[in-house]
Structure 1
Amino acid sequence: MKKPVYLDYAATTPVDPSVADDMVRYLTPDGIFGNPASRSHAFGWQAEAAVESARKQVANLIHADPREIVWTSGATESDNLAIKGAVAGRTDVHVITSTIEHKAVVDTCKWLEGRGVDVTWLKPDHEGRISPAQVEGALRDNTVLVSLMLVNNELGTINDIASIGGMLRERGILFHVDAAQAAGKMPVDVTTMPVDLMALSGHKVYGPKGIGALYVRRSPDVKIEAQIHGGGHERGMRSGTLPTHQIVGMGKAFAIAAQSLSAEIEALEQLRNAFLEGLSGLAGVTLNGSDTGRVPGILNLSFEGVDAESLMLGLRDLAVSSGSACASATIEPSYVLRGIGLSDEQAHRALRFSFGRFTSHEEVVFASAQIVDVVTRLRSVR
């Protein structure tokens, strides 16, 4: 069977081969397999040194202090730790988020609502953005946290985090940002983005699954309550034996991303343009999201007269998505697309295409030709 063309990089990226090579060195008996918390022998010291080196690599990509990086199992845990840890059992407080956040934020905020926390759900504009004015208009005297994503995982749309963060910093309100889809795809700088808590993921940046990080600002200190207890690791914010091999992998992946960011952005832009050029002769194709304020690697399109399920069945040689991988178990139309004003029918016609480091020009040309062929055929038999 011919290997399908992979156009679902927003769901996960393959591990970069050089990352995998480094990870193996921290697994086997002839490598550095010790527990980083073992301070009484060289095996532990070597593992701890590797962990701290990776911490610096992750921090460097977002221009943070390494002491501000807390290891987690992924961005989902980072989001949970940030939001639950900031609210920490208080019920007389107010939280602001949006209706099109990742499920890791949406479900966590719903969980808080069920425990007496007041949550305001902001509605985005038709391109998927939340404006600073919306956030400012929703603030209350007891607002303690705002949680918004930097890049939307289904649309690729970028929020104005710097402006929103500056306003919140002046008011002393904590700002949590899910940057899982932003790191390695656009410049991220916490020295110019006034963010207090930022969720990061390894497997979205050509690192392994099962590892992530939470940036926790230190100046002045942001206090969050641990959600996992049992040893006081990570300065008391997240207990558990650190997976050295995964941490090394995430660090190496973030180091590569920092070195190649400009070139990768340019390459993804070229792939996106080639893909859209291949679809230019097909009528009834609508872009969902923004054509300007977005990252180049994520593209959400609706095809008039064709439902996404039928289209995916016809595109057997392509690996694409009808929305977030975390919501793919449901046949309901995307809540993100409905959130930006699409009808259920319009949302059911949409597919997400996402490109990455190992996508070739030939693959996107082949993919666009396949889409034109299948859409034309499906429309002819309606």
Structure 2
Amino acid sequence: MTIYLDYQATTPLAPEARAAMAPWLDKFGNPHSPHRLGREAAAAVEVARERIARLFPPGGALVFTSGATEAANMALKGAAWAAPPERRRVVTLSTEHACVLDTVQWLGRHGLEVVVLPVEADGRVSLDRVAEAVNDRTAIVAAMLVNNEIGVIQPVEEIGRIARAAGALFLCDAVQGLGRVELPDADLVAVSAHKVHGPKGIGALWVRDGVRLEPLMHGGAQEAGIRSGTLSPMLCAGFGAAAAVALSRFAGDRTHVARLWQMARERLAGWTINGSAEHRYCGNLNVRLEGLDAARLIADVRGVAFSAGSACASGSGRPSHVLKALGLSDADARSSIRLGFGRYTTEEELDAALSLIVEAAERQRAFA
């Protein structure tokens, strides 16, 4: 049996989410149809929307998407296209997820001015840099709540205030933070179900009341007039159930994860933490050991599922752009591993996994 320590890539499906989805394998009504089957499906979608919305502040609407990548694209492109002609600047951080960085660069090729701010050695951006970059030409500022590779929490509340003071919108990628840490006061928030023990293939964009976006896709405008396509009641129901569990277990999950974090820190005392040890979500431990070949370690420890960074970039062969942004060398980046744990990780599992990882790392260094 494999011990799963890759919670940043995806999370195990919550039993409650599975149970909520099961009936919709047989109920096939289109939630946008006017008859009884369609109305039943539509009701399930709205119940799910309401359950997820409880994780967000009041004063906004939740738009279902296929995932956080679509949500981020919708927010960035939609806000840029809807912005007045004098606002042609987009500001973001060098450690953002590829769905933000690649979209921002695309906007740059289509006439917008792009500013990608560096971060400090601890992975957090300087607020002075943000204030210098955000001006009256800025349309949107994007910053991740919890970094998917190193777990560092950005000062998003302050970044949002700077953006709005300049008349710009603030987008927060809260994929790794939903149900785990408090969400910031933002204009747009991108989330994904499968990072909070829900199903893959569904996410959402929370849009503050009064924020106008141009749609990416046309052909029905089923979701708030800005997202076309037939929704899956099954996926919505699973997301809704997972969100409800996350809300009810918020404090308990945080306590459990903090205990696992402390345990891992003690067992990996000789390893160096990548990113701030203070400003972070404790379910993500990104560490390095000098001289270690992380790819070889992952191959050697077959009984544990862990990674060297983002699943989205794992096949590129390049050192993590996040670790490079911290100022790490290629060698340091390639000697780093990411351990992700959460609600369903037991202390016994983590202890066993850490033993296997430490033993394999010691063998590797002994024969280097």
Give the TM-score normalised by the residue count of structure 1: 0.93
**Deviation of residue 99 (structure 1)?**
1.1
Partner Cα separation in structure 1 for residue 55 and residue 186 of structure 2: 15
1:150 matched to which residue of 2?
A: 145
CA RMSD of aligned residues (A): 1.3
Change (3 A) 1:306 1:320: same
Amino acid at match of 1:269: A
Deviations 1:38-93 (A, max 9, x none): 12x2111111111111111111012335x610000000000000000011187860
| 1:194 is the counterpart of 2:185 | yes
**Greater CA drift, 89-98 or 260-269:** 89-98
User: Counterpart of 2:221 in 1: which secondary structure?
Assistant: coil
Matched, 1:348 2:342: no
**What is the CA–CA distance in structure 1 between the aligned matches of 2:268 and 2:307, rounded to whole Å?**
18
Q: 2:73 aligns with which of 68, 80, 86?
A: 80
Equivalent position of 1:373 in the other structure: 359
How far apart, in 2, do the equivalents of 1:317 and 1:254 lie?
A: 30
Work out whether 1:111 is the aligned partner of 2:106: yes
Deviations 1:274-315 (A, max 9, x none): 1222223xx3x1100111111110010001111111211221
Distance 1:98 1:325 in 2: 20
Q: Which AA in structure 1 matches 2:45?
A: V
- 8 Å CA contact retained: 1:4, 1:319: yes
Say whether residues 1:273 and 2:268 are aligned partners.
no
Determine which of 243, 250, 257 is the counterpart of 1:254.
Answer: 243
SS of residue matched to 1:116: coil
In 2 relative to 1, CA 110–124 (structure 1 residues): closer, same or farther, beyond 3 Å? same
User: Which of residues 161, 168, 175 in structure 1 aligns to 2:170?
Assistant: 175
The residue that corresponds to 2:6 in the other structure is 8
CA distance in 1, matches of 2:317, 2:116: 23
Deviation at 1:147, TM superposition (A): 0.7
Determine the C-alpha separation between the residues in 2 that align with 1:194 and 1:363: 37
**Local SS of the residue matching 1:203:** helix
Paired with 2:272 and 2:268, the residues of 1 have a C-alpha distance of 11
Three-state SS of the structure 2 residue aligned to 1:47 is: helix
**Superposed counterparts of 1:96-135, under 5 Å:** 96-135=91-130
**What is the distance in 2 between the residues matched to 1:209 and 1:314?**
29
Q: Which runs of 4+ in 1 moved over 4 A?
A: 89-92
Q: Give the letter for the 1:52 counterpart.
A: E
The Cα shift of 1:134 comes to 1.5
- Measure the CA separation in 2 of the matches of 1:64 and 1:130: 28
| Deviations 1:327-361, CA, capped at 9 Å, x for gaps | 11111110100011101110010000000211110
Q: Which runs of 5 or more residues in structure 2 are unaligned?
A: none
Contact residue 140 and residue 163 of structure 2 kept, 8 A: no
| Residues 1:237 and 2:230 are matched in the alignment | no
Aligned residue-pair number? 366
SS in 1 for 2:159: helix
Determine the structure 1 residue equivalent to 2:284: 298
For the 8 Å contact 2:94–2:116, the answer to whether it is kept is yes
SS at match of 2:64: strand
> Helix, strand or coil for the counterpart of 1:253?
helix
Cα distance in 2 between the residues matched to 1:47 and 1:64: 25
Q: What is the one-letter code of the residue matched to 1:44?
A: G
Contact 2:82 2:214 in 1 (8 A): no
d(CA) in 2 for partners of 1:168 and 1:95? 11
- Counterpart residue identity of residue 347, structure 1: A
Q: Hey, what does 1:213 align to over in structure 2? A: 204
Match of 1:317 in 2: 303
| One-letter amino acid of the counterpart of residue 21, structure 1 | A
C-alpha distance in 2 between matches for 1:23 and 1:334: 36
Using the size of structure 2 for normalisation, the TM-score is: 0.97
Report the CA distance between 1:181 and its aligned residue.
Answer: 0.3
CA contact (8 A) 2:67 2:202 kept: yes
**Letter in structure 2 aligned against 1:10:** Q
Q: Which runs of 5+ in 1 are unaligned?
A: none
User: Amino acid of the residue matched to residue 66 of structure 2?
Assistant: S
Q: For the Cα contact (< 8 Å) 1:224–1:237, is it kept in 2?
A: yes
Preserved contact between residue 275 and residue 367 of structure 1 (Cα < 8 Å): no
Q: Is the 8 A contact 1:153 1:324 kept in 2?
A: yes
